[in-house]
Amino acid sequence: MTDPQIRRRSEVRALARLALEEIGAAATGIGSIHRAISDRVFAGIRLGVGSHAVPAKLLHDEISGAAYTLVADTARLGGSLAGRFLDLPSSENVAPSQTRRGAQAIAAIQGLIGDVLESEGSPLAEPLSIRVNGVALAPDAGTLADAFPRAGGRIVVFLHGLVETEDAWALGRRPTYGERLGTDLGYTALQIRYNSGRHISDNGRSLSELLDAVTEHWPVQVESIALVGHSMGGLVARSACRIAFLDDRPWVRRVQHVVSLGSPHLGAPLEQAVHYASAGLAALPETRAISGLLRRRSAGIRDLNQGSLVDEDWRDRDPDALRAAACSEVPLLDGVTYCFVSATITRSPRHPLGRLLGDGMVLVPSASGRNRTRMIGFRDEDGMHLAPANHFTMLNHESVYEKLLEWLGTPEAD
């Protein structure tokens, strides 16, 4: 059996097993909700009819419990069998992770439980890598030379956001920023894919190691590096720079620009709301299963609570503590230009709805790195506001590209 066949089969089996196991877990959760509700109902009935309600409750509990257990056990058994024997015929032997739709499905799963997949050694927990046409590249001299025959000394690294892949930059099936920067400014673009369910600091460390290898084995001398990240990708970029600086990695000395597009540097309101909601739902037996589901969210999502970039923010801490500990403030690198784009769904960022919702995912103060209590250190002149726009508009927008041209400069200006 060839390597492509092995990869395709392992990913298909892992997806099927995960789907069936989740069905089993859902059945168990629904069963616990059903039981909690029925306990309250029978408690009320018992107040009226006394001990006569006991036989009916016992019969109900036995039948309903058996039904939910049967569904859950059957699904888990099916998952186990699928994980060992399932295969789908394919004439091309292309793994799901190397197709656009398959990669997006896996990215969504990774965003939700990618840290668990990694701890279990699942083939769905893909390591951070450069991708070309969906295929992961090894950062060795031969592979890089073959993949980038016209490699230049100016590199721009693109980092997608939560539950995204490198294909997100092709929004609207239009040429990407990377493709256009190659034509207009002579940059060589590297499209990175990573497991967004891992801790941001773990992905930052992986990115640092990758860029160290790229710098060492690049076909020509690396002159400069620019990092462009959407949403979580902007945080991964900052984390990688911090880790590389502390480890004295050679690549970080070539970084000239770090650009974040809609990145939650001060945290994301949706994750903050879920953090408190999960604690509240745990208080009642009827909603405890829902709380458990919310608390299964990945380490990467939890890091978005305050925009955590380093290990110290999560190591030896209770992730479900109601009052999250303050995150570490990570200084910006000297000599590097940090640029940012914020957005609001309203034309004016001062509009009440714009203040409340921002771009739908990230508020303007968080994207621009400053509020009443925290200040990242971005300069106003290195920022841009896009309106009206949503969180994903900035992935491929003409105004943003014009700013990238301005920020990254022209070859003649170097």
Question: Which string of DSSP letters, residue by residue, matches 27-64?
Answer: HHHHHHHHHHHHHHHHHHHHHHHGGGHHHHHHHHHHHH
Residue 242 domain-assigned (yes or no): yes
Q: 180 and 57 in one domain?
A: no
Residue 44 domain-assigned (yes or no): yes
Cis previous bond, 319, omega within 30: no
Q: 221 and 350 in one domain?
A: yes
240 membership: H or E segment, kind and range: helix 232-247
Residue 287 domain-assigned (yes or no): no
Domain containing 80 equals: 4-87+94-114
Report, as ranges of residue numbers, the positions in the chain whose pLDDT lies below 70. 1-2, 17-46, 48-57, 59-92, 324, 410-414
Looking at residue 129, its pLDDT comes to: 98
Q: 251 and 107 in one domain?
A: no
Q: 136 and 101 in one domain?
A: no
Could you read off the pLDDT of 135-187 as tens digits, one per residue?
Answer: 999 999 999 999 999 999 999 999 999 999 999 999 988 999 999 999 999 99
Whether residue 185 contacts residue 409, with contact meaning beta carbons closer than 8 Å, is answered with: yes
Q: 131 and 59 in one domain?
A: no
Residues 6+ apart with CB under 8 A from 343: 262, 358, 359, 364, 367, 385, 386, 387, 389, 390, 391, 393, 394
Token pair in block for residue 83: 């994980």
Q: 373 and 254 in one domain?
A: yes
Q: 336 and 392 in one domain?
A: yes
d(CA 267, CA 202): 18
Whether residue 286 contacts residue 36, with contact meaning beta carbons closer than 8 Å, is answered with: yes
Residue 58 domain-assigned (yes or no): yes
Residue 258 domain-assigned (yes or no): yes
* Class of residue 263 by CB neighbours under 10 A (exposed 0-12, middle 13-18, buried 19+): buried
d(CA 161, CA 149): 28
CA atoms within 13 Å, Cβ hemisphere of 118: 20
Cβ neighbour number for residue 301 with a 10 Å cutoff: 24
Looking at residue 414, its pLDDT comes to: 40
First-residue to last-residue Cα distance in the chain? 51
Q: 166 and 100 in one domain?
A: no
Q: 132 and 67 in one domain?
A: no
**Which residues are registered as beta bridge partners of 130?**
137, 192
Edge-to-edge strands, sheet with 154-159? 135-137, 129-132, 188-193, 154-159, 224-230, 255-261, 337-343, 383-386
Residue 37 domain-assigned (yes or no): yes
Of 26, 145, 212, 154, the residue nearest 410 (C-alpha): 154
Residue 280 domain-assigned (yes or no): no
Q: 163 and 105 in one domain?
A: no
Q: 175 and 83 in one domain?
A: no
Distance (Å) of CA 365 to CA 141, 162, 168, 346, 355: 42, 20, 24, 15, 9
Q: What is the pTM of this model?
A: 0.86
Token pair in block for residue 294: 């919310």
Q: 224 and 251 in one domain?
A: yes
Q: How many domains does the chain have?
A: 2
Token pair in block for residue 243: 């880790």
CATH of the domain at 389: 3.40.50.1820
d(CA 331, CA 338): 11
Whether residue 336 contacts residue 241, with contact meaning beta carbons closer than 8 Å, is answered with: yes
Looking at residue 283, its pLDDT comes to: 79
Residue 304 domain-assigned (yes or no): no
